Amino acid sequence: MKQYGLIGKQIQHSFSPSFFAKKFKNEGITDSEYHLFPLEKISDFNALIDQHPTLKGLNVTIPYKTEILPYLDKISPQAASIGAVNTIKFAGGLVHGFNTDVYGFQYSLASQLSKYQYNSTALILGAGGASKAVVYALNQMGINYKIVSRKKTQDRLTYSELKHEIVKRNLIIINTTPLGMYPEINSCPNLPYEAIGSDHLLFDLVYNPTQTRFMKNGIERGAKVVNGIEMLYLQAEKSWEIWQE
Ligand SMILES: NC(=O)c1ccc[n+]([C@@H]2O[C@H](COP(=O)([O-])OP(=O)(O)OC[C@H]3O[C@@H](n4cnc5c(N)ncnc54)[C@H](OP(=O)(O)O)[C@@H]3O)[C@@H](O)[C@H]2O)c1
């Protein structure tokens, strides 16, 4: 049996096992299984791969997308430039890292932008692993952006600096923080939501629940909203392609 799975910290609510179980059933794939491998700390990674010698591939999630880098033998140029890995392939005795979040995000955002004819600058909320993939995708797409983080740096805004005017003129707002993710469904990024209107597009990378507090706040003000489910499916399919190459 070929083994695949997901490493991360609190992953018991992840959609990935059911996504792959459904895919294997629908496509008649009988030689593969996909499991959750929760890791208390990233230094447990080597023990995990020693215990599971039939592992062919892993997805990596919060909070290990960056911390995994020192454990890899090879890294794709794209993942190296992003600085985050969400897909690992075991082949030829080597541990190889890739980033498929960027592919998933870019396709999902592009379909929204063409539907609504957007031409605006963006705010990226959060500066973790997924944010790095979003930054890479926006650079590829030629969309200017500002990162909003809890930590002040020269080129980032903090939430307290996010005044009404800034939110009003950046029509694309992308949540890459885990705020609002199940079971913390009542939390959301700290924005002046009254500055959001019907010209805004709120993209939440969170996909559980289907409609997050961030999205609901946008809907109440007439904004277009999208969650991260399409991105999740796209990045998972891309991981599968990489594992089969
Ligand atoms: N739909 C998909 O396919 C997909 C793919 C990837 C990720 N995601 C989702 O995206 C989210 C982030 O994942 P990740 O891997 O990027 O995690 P991560 O590396 O831990 O980064 C999350 C970032 O969010 C910010 N943040 C964390 N807690 C916060 C809080 N209490 N208040 C405000 N900001 C906070 C932090 O940025 P600062 O320290 O800069 O403030 C942190 O670096 C998760 O919910 C994940 O499920 C979805």
pLDDT at 83 over 90: yes
- Give the separation between CA 95 and CA 73, rounded to whole angstroms: 5
Portions of the chain given CATH number 3.40.50.10860: 2-99
Q: What is the DSSP letter of 192?
A: -
Å from CA of 2 to ligand 1 middle: 30
Confidence of residue 119 (pLDDT cuts 50, 70, 90): confident
Tell me the average pLDDT of the chain.
Answer: 96
Using left for φ > 0, alpha for ψ between -120 and 50, and beta otherwise, residue 16 falls in alpha
Query: How many other C-beta atoms are found inside a 10 Å radius of the C-beta of residue 237?
Result: 14
> What is the reported pLDDT for 157?
97
Q: Is the dihedral of CA 136, 141, 142, 144 positive or negative?
A: negative
Mean of pLDDT values over 119-147: 94
Active-site residue identified among 65, 89, 132, 238: 65
Average pLDDT over residues 11-34: 96
For residue range 97-111, list pLDDT tens digits in order.
Answer: 999 999 999 999 999
Q: Whose CA is nearest to atom 15 of ligand 1?
A: 62
pLDDT at 115: 80
Instruction: Band the pLDDT of 36: cuts 50, 70, 90.
Output: very high
pTM (2 d.p.): 0.94
Pairing of strands 55-60, 2-8: parallel
Residues 132-141 have a mean pLDDT of 96
Instruction: For residue 177, report the distance from its CA to the centre of ligand 1, in Å.
Output: 3
Which CATH class name applies to 102-231? alpha beta
Q: What is the mean pLDDT of residues 48-70?
A: 96
Mean pLDDT over residues 133-138, rounded? 97
Residue 58: predicted pLDDT = 98
To test the pocket of ligand 1, the residue of 14, 176, 204 to mutate (highest count of ligand atoms within 8 Å of its CB) is 176
Query: Which residues neighbour 205 within 8 Å (Cβ) at sequence distance 6 or greater?
Result: 105, 130, 134, 174, 175, 176, 228, 231
Domain with CATH 3.40.50.720 in the chain: 102-231
Superfamily (CATH) of domain 2-99: Leucine Dehydrogenase, chain A, domain 1 (3.40.50.10860)
